[in-house]
Structure 1
Amino acid sequence: MSRILVSGLINIETTLKVDGFPLAYAPVRYPFFGVNSSVSGVGFNVSKAIKTLGHDVRFLSLIGQDLAGAMVRATLAQAGISADLILSALPTTAQSVILSDPSGKRQIHVDLKNIQEQVYPEESFDAALAGCDATVLCNINFSRQFLRRARAAGRLVATDVHTISRLDDDYNQDFMAAADVLFMSDELLPMPPEAWAAEIMARYAPQVLVIGLGAQGALLAVQRDRFVGRFPAASVRPVVSTIGAGDALFSAFVHGFVRTGDPYHALRQAVVFAAYKIGVTSAADGFLDQTALDRLCQDALD
């Protein structure tokens, strides 16, 4: 397998099950076994998924000098991910609260503390990049400075800009312009996904674009083949929570694309990987290894 550098957010995630949206007011609720806290964040979710699929991961992130930061380091050790490149540069670790209802709708509240004003040392990034085959640069501010450096070093750049609605999005356009593999969600798109894909490919020209369509699967655009097409969602076990489904789809696609160079095969397997992942509550759990993924993909075809 390959060595992949991941730069992204790690935070403490608290999930809360609700009956539905809008949330009706009540002074007290007792959602037994409906409140859970764990280590998550896009950078950690991707790192853990890619590690589970068999790659050597170099994970860069920033955490706090607090009890939550200690929890992060303990969780990384359990996952077999080195914390050598995780810097305790913040007073407090970022946190999120995610409300989800039985239909899969969710509302995410993210408290980044002061992480968006922080800079990760470029010399540490350059040292970590040596020997890596690809990079996943999540759209957190401290990753922005690495886009040019990764491209200059000739490394594949993959990024997910999540929910987006404008081609000239001020925050995300640097990430879109640098990406070889570009992911995003259809939730806020101002036009049908196929039309949006054509606009993105003409403006930013990534090698590969994937637009997550939720329960409808995903749309794939491949620059070299001038291909645009939809891949249906898979159903492999009961859905518990859709939190982290996009991160799982992204992680498994990067894994498959780096491994084979075939975006079509990579997305077919990524759809199954994400479908299995949403059978658990936490965004950072429910990941298959390669052997189990191959078996499940074969079962889905039979």
Structure 2
Amino acid sequence: MSAGIVVAGASSCYTTVAVEGFPLPYMPTCPPVWADVGVSGAGVHIARVQRRLGCDVRLCTVVGGDAAGAVIRADLVRDGLFGPGVVLSGASSSGVVLVGRDGRRMGFPHLTPVDGFAYPFGVLRERARGAELLVLTTARFVRPLVAPAAALGVPIAVDLHLIADPDDAYARPWLEHARIVFCSHERLRDPRAWPAALFARYGQCEMAGIGLGAGGALLALRDGTLVRVAAAPPRRVVNTSGAGDALFATFLAEWVRGGDPVAALQCAVLHAGWKIGHRLPAAVSLTAERLAALRAAAPPATSAGRWDR
């Protein structure tokens, strides 16, 4: 193990159900094309990816003492993620994902059981000792931890997912303290204009990444550099759930280890593309060696420019 990374976020028990497509017509009974149960959520997915890539990952999450919690705990133990940062609560988060034949997904995350949980900052502080990076997801129980975590002197990274406004009220703690900010393009009016708005408002932000879905990903650096990496889709897209988490997690792991943001973004796009070719993308991850071999065999198209011109 190498780079020490703390990941704070949700761990949920998800049921994934394959459907013919969207919109879904009403029927009283409809046997699915396929169905499966697994443990996902941004926290555990990011941690699982980074541990598989060789990082020393310390997961800070909330797990209930219910049946869903038993499934989650078993998965965390199996993946080597169960540790002092896993805090017991009354109930676990869960969810349902519907996946169409084209891979599009519709998620129903039920995070209410953990949203109001007061995660002890002292636990996060202890897990952060000697860490190189704090990955603080946008889970509600993580939000009160962001400002005090910034005082620990460890860089913070966040994926803000479907953000549209650089002054978003809910996202403000992360925007004010994160050095690395990722998000999806889906609600941005102009993805190329987003980095300029972000860098102008938040002086500590050093990197801004944008997942473009089928278009790949963008990465902007404060010095004006803009890199675009084309998508690397599998032969068949099965399930796009968690593609953004995979992109974000892989970028961070590769960047912390190697220090090259361009190579890290290439690896991130390749890993996300590989994952969406599987039924349960959050359950499968490449090792650093296999990912490096994939990049060597099929390097994704990459272009460079400027966001400040």
TM tier relative to shorter chain: over 0.9
Conserved? CA contact 2:63–2:73, under 8 Å: no
- Do the aligned partners of 1:278 and 1:286 also contact (CA within 8 Å) in 2? no
Q: Give the alignment of 1:153-168 within 5 angstroms.
A: 153-168=152-167
Q: Quick check: 236-245 or 153-162, which moved more?
A: 236-245
Verify: 1:253 aligned to 2:251, yes or no: yes
Kindly report which structure 2 residues correspond to 1:119-198, keeping only aligned pairs within 5 A, or say none. Answer: 119-189=118-188, 191-198=189-196
Question: Do the aligned residues in 2 keep the contact of 1:157 with 1:178 (CA within 8 Å)?
Answer: yes
Residue in 2 that maps onto 1:285 = 283
How far apart are residue 237 of structure 1 and its match? Answer: 4.2
SS of the equivalent of 1:71 reads helix
Instruction: Report the equivalent of 2:85.
Output: 85
Is the Cα–Cα contact under 8 Å of residues 150 and 156 in structure 1 kept in the other structure?
no
Question: Which residue in the other structure is 2:58 paired with?
Answer: 58
CA distance in 2, matches of 1:62, 1:138: 13
Q: CA deviation at 1:268?
A: 0.8
Following the alignment from structure 2 to structure 1, what is the Cα–Cα distance between the partners of residues 27 and 234? 36
Residue aligning to 2:98: 99
Unaligned 5+ runs, structure 1: none
Residue-by-residue CA offset, 1:118-149 (whole Å, 9 max, x unaligned): 11111111111112111110011222233233
1:14 counterpart residue number: 15
RMSD: 1.5
The residue number in structure 1 matching 2:37 is: 37
1:239 lines up with 2:237 in the alignment: yes
- Per-residue CA shift, 1:146-181, capped at 9, x if unaligned? 323332222111111111122221111211221111
- Paired letter, 1:70: A
Rounded Cα–Cα distance in structure 1 between residues aligned with 2:283 and 2:269: 16
Cα pair 2:133 2:154 within 8 Å, conserved: yes
Letter in 1 for 2:131: C
Q: TM-score, normalised by structure 2?
A: 0.92
**Cα displacement (A) at 1:94:** 0.6
Rate the CA distance shift 1:107–1:261 in 2: closer, same or farther, 3 A.
Answer: same
Alpha carbons 2:12, 2:41 under 8 Å: kept: yes
Match of 2:220 in 1: 221
In structure 1, the residue matched to 2:107 is 108
Q: Is the 8 A contact 2:63 2:92 kept in 1?
A: yes
Give the letter for the 2:249 counterpart.
S
Shift of residue 54, structure 1, vs aligned partner: 0.4
Secondary structure, aligned partner of 2:84: coil
Query: For the residues of structure 1 that align with 2:275 and 2:281, how far apart are their CA atoms?
Result: 8
Q: CA deviation at 1:204?
A: 2.3
Contact kept, 8 Å, 2:8 with 2:60, in 1: the verdict is yes
**Rounded Cα–Cα distance in structure 2 between residues aligned with 1:237 and 1:81:** 31
CA distances 1:93-120 after superposition (whole Å, capped 9, x unpaired): 1111111212232211111123221111
Q: Is the 8 A contact 2:9 2:43 kept in 1?
A: yes
Work out whether residues 237 and 275 of structure 1, in 8 Å CA contact, stay in contact via their aligned partners in 2. no
Letter in 1 for 2:47: S
Give the % identical residues: 37
1:2 maps to what in 2? 3
Partners in 1 of 2:112 and 2:83 — Cα distance? 21
- Counterpart contact for 1:279–1:286, Cα < 8 Å: no
Looking at structure 2, the residues matched to 250 and 93 of structure 1 have their Cα atoms a distance apart, in angstroms, of 24
Check conservation: 2:206, 2:221, Cα contact below 8 A: yes
Report the secondary structure of 2:54's partner residue. Answer: coil
Deviates more, 1:180-189 or 1:201-210: 201-210
Residues of 2 paired with 1:262 and 1:177: CA distance? Answer: 25
Q: Which residue of 1 aligns with 2:305?
A: none
> C-alpha separation between the residues in 2 aligned to 1:79 and 1:6?
14
Count the aligned residue pairs.
298
Q: Secondary structure at the match of 2:141?
A: helix
1:243 aligned partner, one-letter code = S
Cα distance in 1 between the residues matched to 2:281 and 2:295: 21
Q: In 1, Cα distance between the equivalents of 2:234 and 2:248?
A: 18
